[in-house]
Amino acid sequence: MDGLAKKRMKIIILIAFTIIVLLFFYKVRTLLIPFLLAFIITYLFDPAVNYFEKKEVPRWLSILGIYVVIGGVIFIFCYYLFPVMYQEMQNLADDLPHYFKVVQNYSDYFAEKYNDTPIPAEVKDSLEASFVEIQNKFLNIIRGIGNRIFSLFGYMVHLVLAPILAFYFLKDSDRIKKNMRKVIPVDYRAEIIGVIEEINKGVHGFIRGQVLDNVIDGALVAGGLYFLGMDYALLIGIMVAIINMIPFLGPIVGGIIASLLSLLESPVLTLKVIILFLIVEQLDNSIINPKLVGDQTDLHPVFIIFALLVGADIAGILGMLLAVPVVIVVKVLLKYGFQKLTS
């Protein structure tokens, strides 16, 4: 067998081995969930553990300290904020019949005007069918939310196992990184490690900045709505913080929902709510997000919005969540490639 045939055989064996490994991972994909969650936890907290290690704090003690702090935050949320949020959800459930009654009154009013309007019967039938379809979709969404909440209990084992796995990953991360570096060819090791470190710096900066941005936006919305006397202030604030994981989207969606709820109470309150969300949106776009996220990623807000639109078009919500990290990776790779071409 000549050299070319041996090379082809090696490529075929490598491809076959890769396919077998991918098929194996696909078959056990459910079992990989805690490992994936543990990897995410490790990636997020490894810089903090490294920081304390430089201060001569043992890695295992740093990890335990971080876990204690996070556990304390979760405890505070569950003990102080969750009961308030739960009560607001109960109030919303109790008030829904009232809101539906108000909507029904508006609907009856417009239906009366609508019946007096000389519109062709086919158009009326089409509009009525669309209205029924919207109602059915709304009910399906509500049922789907309930089913998803109950389905989360099936993943409790994964949620418990992930921090335990992450503890060992964090504790031995230096050894894991050292072994991974050995896989990289010596001639390219320094350059590839430099590119990876730059990518890590950008992605970590984005995550830190976005989390702080989410917390600040949620706090501003919750505090502002509470000051205005709006019901469900904490609930809407938490919702804004969660949805704002997709940059710029939290205040917009929260503003629409809060405006609709306040409209059923008072037009004056609605005007105040709209002004509040406009202020929060402007603060987020002009000060908070550029300082916390833009400076960390060196990406212009317009470019981030464009990336979000592209991500939404390609993969929906998941695409929007991954859009900015992917852009950071592509930006670093393009920068490295351009430097290699021009050097």
Q: How many whole angstroms separate alpha carbon 221 and alpha carbon 254?
A: 9
CB atoms within 10 A of CB 83: 10
Residue 324: both structure tokens together = 């900015």
Average pLDDT over residues 320-325: 84
Lowest mean pLDDT among 95-109, 149-163, 270-284: 95-109
pLDDT at 224: 92
pLDDT at 154 over 80: no
pLDDT of residue 223: 92
Q: Which residue has the higher pLDDT, 51 or 303?
A: 51
Q: What is the 3-state secondary structure (H, E, C) of the chain?
A: CCHHHHHHHHHHHHHHHHHHHHHHHHHCCCCCHHHHHHHHHHHHHHHHHHHHHHCCCCHHHHHHHHHHHHHHHHHHHHHHHHHHHHHHHHHHHHHHHHHHHHHHHHHHHHHHHHHCCCCCHHHHHHHHHHHHHHHHHHHHHHHHHHHHHHHHHHHHHHHHHHHHHHHHHHHCHHHHHHHHHHHCCHHHHHHHHHHHHHHHHHHHHHHHHHHHHHHHHHHHHHHHHHHHCCCCHHHHHHHHHHHCCCCCHHHHHHHHHHHHHHHCCCHHHHHHHHHHHHHHHHHHHHHHHHHHHHHHHCCCHHHHHHHHHHHHHHHHHHHHHHHHHHHHHHHHHHHHHHHHHHC
Percent of the chain with pLDDT over 90: 6
Q: Report the pLDDT value the prediction gives residue 281, as an integer from 0 to 100.
A: 87
Predicted confidence (pLDDT) at residue 71 exceeds the cutoff of 80: yes
The least confident of 80-89, 164-173, 220-229 is 80-89
pLDDT interval class at 145 (50, 70, 90) = low
**What pLDDT score was predicted for residue 117?**
58
Q: Would you state the pLDDT for residue 275?
A: 92
Please write the tens of the pLDDT for every residue from 251-274. Answer: 888 888 888 888 777 888 889 999
pLDDT of residue 115: 59
Over residues 278-299, the pLDDT tens digits come to: 999 888 888 888 788 777 777 7
In whole angstroms, give the CA distance from residue 93 to residue 105.
19
Q: What is the pLDDT of residue 64?
A: 92
How many of the other CB atoms lie within 10 Å of CB of 253?
A: 16
pLDDT at 150: 56
Question: What are the angstrom distances between the C-alpha of 242 and each of 77, 127, 133?
Answer: 15, 34, 28
- Model pLDDT for residues 192-242, shown as the tens digit of each residue: 888 888 888 888 888 888 888 888 999 999 999 989 888 888 888 888 888
pLDDT band with cut points at 50, 70 and 90 for residue 305? confident
Please give the average per-residue pLDDT across 165-170, as a whole number: 90
State the pLDDT at residue 105. Answer: 66
**pLDDT at residue 119 tops 70:** no
Average pLDDT value for residue range 71-76: 86
Mean per-residue pLDDT, 175-201: 83
Lowest mean pLDDT among 23-27, 169-173, 224-228, 326-330: 23-27
Whether 68 has a pLDDT exceeding 90, the answer reads yes
Q: What is the pLDDT of residue 101?
A: 66
pLDDT at 142 (0 to 100): 52
**Crossing angle for the helix pair 186-228 and 301-342, nearest 10 degrees?**
170
Cα gap 297→293, rounded to integer Å? 6
Q: What is the pLDDT of residue 253?
A: 83
